[in-house]
Structure 1
Amino acid sequence: MDTAQRLHPDVGQRLPLVGFHPRNDDGLDVPVAYNAGVSVKDKQWSQEFRLASPTGGFFDYVVGAYYFGSDLDNKSFSYYGPKADIWNGTPTGALANVSTLGKGHIDTNSFALFAQGTWHLTPKLDFTAGLRGTYEEKSASVERNAPVGGVAVTGAAATARRARVGAYDSGGLNQYSTSPSGLLNLSYHFNDNLLGYATLSHGEKSGGVNLTVGSAPTAGVDSLLIGAERANNAELGLKSTLWDRRLQLNANLFWTQVNGYQTTAYDDATRAQYLTNAGSVRSRGVEFESTLIPVRGLTLNVNGSYNDVRYLSYKDAPCPPEVSLRPGAPASCDLSGHQVVGASKWIGNVNGEYKWDLNDGLEEYVTASYAYRSKAVGTVEDSAYAQIPGYAVVNLSTGLRGDFHQGQWDVSLWLKNAFDKTYYTTLWSAGNGGYEGLLGSPRTLGVTGRYDF
């Protein structure tokens, strides 16, 4: 991503109304839950004004202003079956045949001013500096209706019902934030084929509000709020074009520290996923990418990275179930030094395409790709039972393309996951110390036709 893209988004972006209406049962062969999920409706709008200088002089600049607005509503729902109490560990009658409905709303208004300039200090040396200031305000509310259904209960069952599905109203929730971001970049053209650069940058992601009740009735309304995430980054890299422009090699070293890292956690008491701040995180490593054209018609791409991502400090983290379900378990665990969820240390990709011309302007091609990811932590609490093993996937295709009027048509036969590798793409926490996940697509054969005009 170039430095300008890091400072400001596209001009006049218009985002439509987005809706999501899930239907999810519990996947069990006993009647624990018939349906659960969160239905979302989101309206977004944005506008940007930008003034850019002519290029080619000693100093180039761009200045501007940006506005983003959002109006989001959601409905969270759960319909429990007659065996719900056995699965949820609640007293008999607390959740059996009970349904609950909650709703959340949040309005967001974000305003930003930005400026970026590049000084061409010498024919080979450029210095770029940029600054962006963002002010954001959010107003939200979270409610849950009284539960419907079930039988009348008292004592422990009544207490459990109120905690898990009882009526709740957060009242008005407001969040205001001012977030600066900026960068400094120095680039040097050693020659026409080799560029070196060094970058320092600071960026911030605003906080937010969890729009489902979760543990708020017992943990307090402040548990619905998420703090801002702040990142400092340093990069040192090279970009090169070699072998008569038939080989491109790019590589960089990077170091990033994130404070107030935002991630998803799981509350076993309420069986709810929620967004939270997970202390500070450090990411450091190396990336490279290359493109080679060894012979006419053949293009090879190789890229990869080593990325060591760990919590520098996360002393009040949720405990994995092998700890939290033991008698006398601590309320929280110290995950400082642990690998961050979802981050593979090693990633590698190899892609190749060979194409050749036929008669009448037709072009035939074959492609192959190999993608590898090393093992990763599956959930934030870093349980020994929630690890995603490393995996590699091979995709193949062949096709024919040609020109038609002012456009181009393309018909391809493809085979995804050619060796039918079974692998997880993501995991998440579930009840009773269990985990659920999504499997990657199995071996799939298909045909695609397209016309670009």
Structure 2
Amino acid sequence: MSITLALLAAAAQAAPADNPPVAPPAPQTNSQAAPDEQEDPGRLGPAQQSGGDILVTARRRAETIQSVPIAMSVIGGKAVSDTGAYNVGRLTQLQPSLQFYSTNPRNSAANIRGLGAPFGLTNDGIEQGVGIYVDQVYYSRIASATFDFTDTDRIEILRGPQGTLYGKNTTAGAINITTRKPSFDTEARFEVSGGNYDFFQAKGSISGPLVGDVVAGRFSASFTTRRGTIWNTTQEQWQNSQDNLSLRGQMLFRAASNLDITLYADYNRQAPTCCVQYYARLAPTQRPANRQYTALAAAAGYAVPSTNAFDRITDVDTPLRARQKLGGASMVANWDLGPATLTSVTAWRFWNWDPSNDRDFIGLPITTVSANPSQQDQYSQEIRLGSNGKHAIDYTVGMFYFYQTIDTQGLQVQGPAASAWLLNPTSAAAKNPATLNGLTSRNTIGFKNTSAALFGKLTWHVTDKLQISPGARLNYDKKEGSYISVVTNGQGSTNLTSDQRGVLAPQSYAPKFDNWNFSGDITLAYEFSPDVHSYATYARSYKSGGINLSGLPLDANNNPILSTATVKPETVNHYELGLKTQLLDRRATINLAAFWTDIYDYQATVNNFQLAVLRGYLANAGKVRTRGIEFDSAFRPTSGLNLYVNGAYTDAKYVRFANAPCPPELSGGSNSPPFCDISGQRLPGVSKWAFSYGAEYNWPAGDGQVYVGYDGSYRSDFSSNPSPSAYMNIAGYSLSNFRLGYRKGDKLNIFAWVRNAFDQNYYELLTTQSGSTGLIVGQPGDPRTFGVTLSFGIN
């Protein structure tokens, strides 16, 4: 099992169980931290302390994290604040095995150990491999989980398949977010931060009794704003800004001594001027020289404001927008039956997406409109029965039902510069702006997704030291889609020329998929001593098949290739060994995990390099393998000094992918191969080496503490293209964050911080301009930021 820096933040205090009101008895500890080590949980400083026990609910019961035979990490709510990790994307600096990529909220992906969602543009027709859960509710799209964390108690990151424990099948892992619960003691928490780039963030929560000791409520809110870090010379505004509002309410009703019901409601609004990608570098392709970027730009008399992306200047001419509204309501009921607790989780969620992008990535009117507004609704019901206490056999069994609808209205419009840029420059059609000006594609996309499952896991305590835990899952998935693209020319006619069809071709298809699947796992756990635990796991897992809902690749006659409308399910064989140790009177924790995962019919997002739209569609790679070793270590040599080092070595490769699309440098020519064999090459987005490390030192000051802290992270280079390309590797980089402050228990914490302190230039992503022009555009990471945070509590 793996523990990040903030996992140990909870070392002095048990986290609440998922099944109140009568939680299982607290696990017996074999040694306790000294009284002066029992500091407040969730704070980054004690996050590295190695004393005490941390309770988690990864297996749907309260257990100490060191005894749970799952590779997992926990980040406490105060560590989220101290490190500035206030959304899923920022967790990657704390957890080396977690990867997160985003060109905008919709096109986001969270991966664990290189697996989860295909790297590239999001396709609604497939599942996530990494499940996102907030207060036990499954969030079906990573886009709906890009909210700012509000009133967070802890975040559990589970690595490896989790389908026998969680409602929705997850083949790569799960991110389980738990917010603070309503309290029957009146309390309030507030936090305000300010910094450069006009950064301002305010968070607050208040909780207390509403009706005696029967009903309690909690309300929390978060607001974040920051101007952009990229200056647009055409639109004369800062872009890639932040503008987020989050509201959350809870009401706990103790209906009886053994029954409680909690109602949740939340609303989130994001309206940033986002997200711009722009000139990063050039790469040769197989296109004739007069159809590549240098010649095309010269012919148009065009030059980008800067060829150095880290000047942070662009001139894209389409207004940018990444507006979304998301929220929902849920009810969690826990009924203690004595030997077991029955839990019901009922939820509805919505996500409304309203974007505007510049998909030619430069300041010429080539593609003047590119937007895919989308509306999603999901409904889910989970029922679980979990044993209470510790018996010869413990168990969790459950049923899960999920239904989702997505409606998308796509629009793409070509502008007056499109003809010269996208067509053969020597042709008459290219010399006539009217050929493509006003060429419009209107896409109507519908999707229905139904999933149901029976799942369960037993833990047989063979002896006091040996456990055997088998699990099983029976899953049903059904997906139905509709994709209709109507293309009209500048005069509004559907009678298109071959040049126009070569840029935007009409499509209409209705893919379907349904399948039953049975999967399972087994874990053997052995306790060598109270502070040395080990486990071995085998899992046979499954990721549902999918349907392509982003348009299909075209044949030589510009007709959709219907055979690509569906993709096969993934089949996963996963093997893992783990060792968890605490040493030196629990002042040192060193945990190791080794894993090997084979994925058959891996679902990859690939690019077809069409002229006008970089369309990402799905394809099955024959086999993918990821393997590696992870370690987490934390040390507390003195009561005032905490140290941690976490690391991951991940070797993720295509074992067999003979019919993959070719990388940019082999694409675009009349003699370019239709497919490339990329077997043996690495998966995109995965660094072979990744580390997080840091320290905090504190010393007494009156009735509080002064502290200084450092947090660093490093990741080695990785590929930013589904088919590896010599021109699309992102170099390795390291980031350093510092903070200096004063804290006084829960009452007061004030600190100054600087993030990316050495102003490291690095890319989060690279991608290609459509049409095989050789232009590669990038999305730079945040520059150095600094500011001050003040938080205080009232009890």
Work out the CA distance in 2 between the residues paired with 1:414 and 1:132: 46
Work out the CA distance in 2 between the residues paired with 1:426 and 1:384: 15
Pair 213,410 (structure 1): closer, same or farther in 2 beyond 3 Å:
same
Match of 1:411 in 2: 750
Match of 1:101 among 425, 432, 442: 442
Match of 2:732 in 1: 390
- Structure 1 residue 395: Cα displacement: 1.1
Match of 1:173 in 2: 511
| 1:240-251 pair list within 5 angstroms | 240-251=581-592
Greater relative contact order structure (CA < 8 Å, 6+ sep): 2
Match of 1:252 among 589, 593, 606: 593
| 1:144-223 pair list within 5 angstroms | 144-149=485-490, 158-170=497-509, 172-215=510-553, 218-223=559-564
Work out the CA distance in 2 between the residues paired with 1:150 and 1:449: 59
- Structure 1 residue 153: Cα displacement: 10
Pair 450,384 (structure 1): closer, same or farther in 2 beyond 3 Å:
same
Query: Identity over aligned residues, as a percent?
Result: 33
- Structure 1 residue 344: Cα displacement: 0.8
Q: Which deviates the most, 10-19 or 306-315?
A: 10-19
- Structure 1 residue 452: Cα displacement: 6.0
Q: Which deviates the most, 443-452 or 236-245?
A: 443-452
| 1:271-286 pair list within 5 angstroms | 271=613, 272-286=615-629
- Structure 1 residue 13: Cα displacement: 6.0
Q: In the alignment, does 2:350 pair up with 1:17?
A: yes
- Structure 1 residue 104: Cα displacement: 0.9
TM-score, structure 2 length as denominator? 0.53
- Structure 1 residue 339: Cα displacement: 0.8
Q: For the Cα contact (< 8 Å) 2:634–2:642, is it kept in 1?
A: yes
Match of 1:50 in 2: 384
Structure 1: state its 5+ residue gaps: none
Q: In the alignment, does 2:415 pair up with 1:81?
A: yes
Q: For the Cα contact (< 8 Å) 2:165–2:396, is it kept in 1?
A: no
Match of 1:224 among 565, 573, 585: 565
Q: For the Cα contact (< 8 Å) 1:103–1:212, is it kept in 2?
A: no
Match of 1:330 among 655, 663, 673: 673
Deviations 1:378-429 (Å, cap 9, x if unpaired)? 10111111111111111112233345xxx64533322111111111112223
Work out the CA distance in 2 between the residues paired with 1:253 and 1:80: 51
Work out the CA distance in 2 between the residues paired with 1:327 and 1:190: 64
TM-score, structure 1 length as denominator? 0.92
Match of 2:632 in 1: 289
More strand by share: 1
Match of 2:165 in 1: 8
Q: Which deviates the most, 373-382 or 215-224?
A: 215-224
Deviations 1:346-379 (Å, cap 9, x if unpaired)? 111112222334334x343322111111111110
Work out the CA distance in 1 between the residues paired with 2:748 and 2:618: 45
Q: In the alignment, does 2:659 pair up with 1:316?
A: yes
- Report the RMSD for the aligned CA atoms in angstroms: 2.3
Work out the CA distance in 2 between the residues paired with 1:72 and 1:409: 45
Work out the CA distance in 2 between the residues paired with 1:185 and 1:232: 14
Match of 2:364 among 27, 30, 33: 30
The one-letter amino acid paired with 2:390 is: G
Deviations 1:154-181 (Å, cap 9, x if unpaired)? 8xx71232354344321x4321022322
- Structure 1 residue 151: Cα displacement: 8.5
The one-letter amino acid paired with 2:726 is: A
Q: For the Cα contact (< 8 Å) 1:318–1:333, is it kept in 2?
A: yes
Deviations 1:233-285 (Å, cap 9, x if unpaired)? 10112000111011111002111101121222111125312233233111112
Match of 1:399 among 716, 725, 741: 741
- Structure 1 residue 45: Cα displacement: 2.1
Structure 2: state its 5+ residue gaps: 2-57, 61-157, 168-343
The one-letter amino acid paired with 2:382 is: E
Work out the CA distance in 1 between the residues paired with 2:640 and 2:565: 56
Pair 274,130 (structure 1): closer, same or farther in 2 beyond 3 Å:
same
Work out the CA distance in 2 between the residues paired with 1:260 and 1:452: 52
Work out the CA distance in 1 between the residues paired with 2:414 and 2:730: 30
Match of 1:269 among 601, 610, 616: 610
Aligned-partner SS, 1:27: coil
Q: Which deviates the most, 306-315 or 391-400?
A: 391-400
Work out the CA distance in 1 between the residues paired with 2:494 and 2:395: 69
Pair 115,81 (structure 1): closer, same or farther in 2 beyond 3 Å:
same
Q: Which deviates the most, 24-33 or 200-209?
A: 24-33
Q: For the Cα contact (< 8 Å) 2:353–2:373, is it kept in 1?
A: yes
Q: For the Cα contact (< 8 Å) 1:94–1:153, is it kept in 2?
A: no
The one-letter amino acid paired with 1:300 is: L
Q: Which deviates the most, 37-46 or 328-337?
A: 37-46
